[in-house]
Structure 1
Amino acid sequence: MNSTALKDSLYPEFGILLVDDEPSYHRSLGLMLERKGGINHLYYCQDSRQAMDMLETHSIGVVLLDLNMPHKSGKELLSELTEAFPDVAVVIISGLNQIETAVECLRLGAFDFYVKTTESARLLEGIKRAIQLQEIKRENQELRHRVLSRRLDSPEAFSDILTQSRSMASVFQYLESVARSSQPLMICGESGTGKELIARAVHAISGRKGKLVTVNVAGLDDQIFNDTLFGHRKGAFTGAETERAGLVEEASGGTLFLDEIGDLSHSSQIKLLRLLQEGEYYPMGADRPKRMQARIFVATHQDLAEHQREGRFRRDLYYRLCTHQVQIPPLRARREDIRLLFTYFAEQAAEDMGKPAPEYTPELWAALQNYDFPGNIRELRAMAFDAISRHQQGPMRASDLQLLRDRPPEGTPGKHDTLVQFAPDNRLPTLAEMDEILIQEAMHRADYNQSIAARILGISQPALSKRLKRLRDNLKNGIEPE
């Protein structure tokens, strides 16, 4: 019988089956798993002959198996179980400390072996490892299935994210496959790419009954971080006249989203690491811990992998947080979305300002397609609203994009950036050949609008016109570029 059938939130998503003929050990082990590990999706079997039937009728991911039982021994059941259910992890918890028996069980396919007198903390860590392995295996299987089938089970959860990009569709498929995991999710991407929208979508399909609680941790000193996340007891510090619950408790049964995690101070990083490792925390002024019942999402626009290599971010915390990690592509990497998003924002702006939505010229689309949008979707939205506010009548042109006129058409390359790469085994093109290649590419990107192509190349429109005429004359006369 499931001991937690009446509970709203079960962890893990799959069941843990305890097979032991001693009811007292069932009770003590079950209480330890619930109180110290938050593991409450438990099933109990006192008769080893019924274990296989329970595996048939329930979604079991981990079996905690005793060896010395009447009717059918644990070793006999282990052989049957690993053959019939090879994807289930079996942890042996035996009353006997025998090395030969432990080796034999591992050879038969057991995940791990513990003695009942083992320290509870060590046993709990071993069971947690088995759970995490099963979660990762199931998520990998689900991800493989989604990628191969190219399907989304909950497309409505992503409806606030306008896109027709294949790269974004792959992101959505990955997020669906890890949405029901209990492990942290790290959302990486440049500012303005919509990381909070992603967090909302994953929370919506996570199946969690609690709410999504968001906090930007950038600039929080250690005490404010402590108080914000963990809360405080009355009298914990000067001014603490009443007890206050922290955001970890507010997000209980749901998701806690920590934005700008790369700006977290080292002392606060230690507290977050302990929260993830132990699954418990102390409100300020409290002498008894509380268990965390929320899943953690974090987001950053920084390169945390580089930060941890440089010692600016704790390595152990980084690896705890990036169990599941997704990189949101910048807008310049999904240019097929630019027209869709600009039209949406422009219509939104027109409705907001009481104006009719305008028509758009090919010149405008060419100009937008050849801008790098360092501010991503947030910048595109601002550009659309500004253009609608300035537009008077007729089709909207590139000249209406004041914010675009104030910036260079392409992202300014850094000192060591390489815009063009050449295969080392091939000959270098001549300057004349490169001139022709650049002009043709610029005209293609500008939809053959000479004004836009000239802006891309950084030359005047008359200068481009002369070069095009020379290229046409050379082609007509059969002259190859020098």
Structure 2
Amino acid sequence: MEPVAALPVLLVDDEPQVLRSASIMLRASGLPRVVTVEDSRAVLPLLETQAMGVMVLDLTMPHLSGHALLERVAADHPDLPVIVMTATNDLETAVQCMQMGAVDYLVKPVEPNRLTASIKRALEIRALGAEVLSLKERLLEDRPHQPEAFAEIITQSKAMFAIFRYIEAIAPSPQPVLITGESGTGKELVARALHRLSGRPGELVAINVAGLDDTVFSDTLFGHVKGAYTGAERTREGLIASAAEGTLFLDEIGDLSMASQVKLLRLLQDGRYYPLGADRPRQGRARVVVATNADVLRGLSAGTFRKDLYFRLRTHHLNLPPLRERRGDLPLLVAHCIDKAARTLGKPAPTAPLALYQLLNTYRFPGNVRELEGLIFDAVARCPGRTLPLQSFKEAMAGELPSAEPLPESPAAPLASVFPDRLPTLDEAEAMLIGEALRRAQANQSIAASLLGISRQALNKRLARRRSSDSAAESRRD
């Protein structure tokens, strides 16, 4: 199904000059697809064969009046918004048209900005309605309708599948999308899936805006005209023009300067932008998708991120879970990364030992999937045989916190909150720590020892001592 924003605007009027001037004005305002009809009798057959985004309808026409056509369209095509544009300046007529289903009533002559704004608002309302219906359908299912669009993302996580279904629902929308998540969670992969599902004819153009000052940001996105500054010897199109009818993906948006944020907000509000040195605006038609691993809400509180831009961007919001919240994906990801690394290095793919999964399950993965891929690539490169060694993983993971949250250290959270009844004895504390380490390591003593910061031999001695102590206590009870 074609996205609502890409559907044509249907103009119905018996005056050719009105149709001609309105078509030119709408195309100049960023609505390139316009269909005009002079004979109102041709409208209903046309709607049976071609989908329209919105219809602008005159009331006073021969053969089939605007009133009669409005009534038929409202009954047969209730999802098509109709804007009445007529010379009849009568309150009673306006009220009657609105009661019949019109979404707006404009009196000729209409200001160009007024007509454009009314059409774009009607398209947005229709798109949001379609998204709500799509969400209702998709949220009742477990998996996405088009899994091939997400082939680059390796997962069996229900949380990720829910995100996929949401992406399918919002893909046709022209509204911006905010993607948040830690570094390495796959934000650009999600943006690519979103673009594939959008059906937009243009390309996906991606840029990392972190560290760009306002001038470089403006020149990169908006371009410049010849002579805009010293060295600008020829006109340069920006990335917005390159994206055309596609998707513009801006990564690390949380690091954008305040001046650049203002320019981005203006682009999102009316689709217009000024190349450097230009005195006339251009119309951007690309959908804007942004991503950040920064805490945008903290930026709002600190005054480093504009509230109006944030609320404009988060019309649709995707928050990607970190790898530590989707550990069930580890077997799939490990197998995929081993195969990819082996093919890249021209080596036979080694086998991952069970102990590797036990070790990875104890790790927080601050770099998420990207970090896992790097760890496996290094291990495959260093692998001398058919079984993947653990040493490189242990070296890379040394010093990182295990998957549990650290114990509270501040005076505001004393040990009494951890041991509310009584402090355990040293023997009891040791038993609890060893038991928890073995649980997290899935009974792998080597990994449990590394979690405790001791050697495997030291752990074995403690376990042997505890078994001996338990046997002695059992004998005394007997």
Per the normalisation by structure 2, the TM-score is 0.85
Of 23, 29, 47, the residue aligned with 2:22 is: 29
Q: Spell out the pairing of 1:234-249 with structure 2 (5 A cutoff).
A: 234-249=226-241
Deviation for aligned residue 1:95: 1.3
Could you list the runs of 4 or more consecutive aligned residues of structure 1 that deviate by over 6 angstroms after TM superposition?
414-417, 428-441, 457-460, 470-477
Deviation for aligned residue 1:149: 4.1
Of 281, 286, 291, the residue aligned with 2:278 is: 286
Cα separation, 1, equivalents of 2:467 and 2:62: 95
Deviation for aligned residue 1:217: 1.0
Aligned to 1:200: 192
Aligned to 1:123: 115
Matched, 1:16 2:9: yes
Cα separation, 2, equivalents of 1:440 and 1:118: 77
- Matching residue's letter, 2:363: Y
Report the count of equivalent residues.
462
Of 440, 443, 450, the residue aligned with 1:448 is: 443
Structure 1 residues 335 and 266, CA, compared in 2 at 3 Å: closer, same or farther?
A: same
Deviation for aligned residue 1:380: 0.8
Cα separation, 2, equivalents of 1:317 and 1:205: 25
Cα separation, 2, equivalents of 1:67 and 1:271: 40
Cα separation, 2, equivalents of 1:391 and 1:462: 28
Deviation for aligned residue 1:153: 4.6
Contact 1:436 1:471 in 2 (8 A): no
Matched, 1:189 2:187: no
Aligned to 2:202: 210
Aligned to 2:415: none
SS at match of 2:164: helix
- Matching residue's letter, 1:404: M
Please list every run of 5 or more consecutive structure 2 residues that lacks an aligned counterpart in the other structure: 411-419
Cα separation, 2, equivalents of 1:474 and 1:41: 87
Per the normalisation by structure 1, the TM-score is 0.84
Deviation for aligned residue 1:413: 4.5
Of 383, 386, 400, the residue aligned with 1:407 is: 400
Contact 1:18 1:63 in 2 (8 A): yes
My pick for the range that moved more, 261-270 or 52-61, is 52-61
Aligned to 1:461: 459
Structure 1 residues 183 and 476, CA, compared in 2 at 3 Å: closer, same or farther?
A: farther
Of 368, 371, 378, the residue aligned with 1:376 is: 368
After superposition, give the CA deviation of every residue in 1:355-379 in whole Å (9 maximum; x if it has no partner): 4433333222111012110110111
Contact 2:221 2:238 in 1 (8 A): yes
- Matching residue's letter, 2:442: D
Contact 2:142 2:158 in 1 (8 A): no
Q: CA RMSD in A?
A: 3.4
Aligned to 1:57: 49
My pick for the range that moved more, 115-124 or 458-467, is 458-467
- Matching residue's letter, 1:116: K
Cα separation, 2, equivalents of 1:163 and 1:77: 51
Contact 2:364 2:401 in 1 (8 A): no
Structure 1 residues 472 and 83, CA, compared in 2 at 3 Å: closer, same or farther?
A: farther
Identity of aligned residues (%): 46
Cα separation, 1, equivalents of 2:102 and 2:471: 78
Matched, 1:314 2:306: yes
Of 120, 126, 129, the residue aligned with 1:134 is: 126
Aligned to 1:262: 254
Contact 1:12 1:40 in 2 (8 A): no
Deviation for aligned residue 1:393: 4.1
Contact 2:57 2:66 in 1 (8 A): yes
After superposition, give the CA deviation of every residue in 1:40-66 in whole Å (9 maximum; x if it has no partner): 333323333333333222212322122
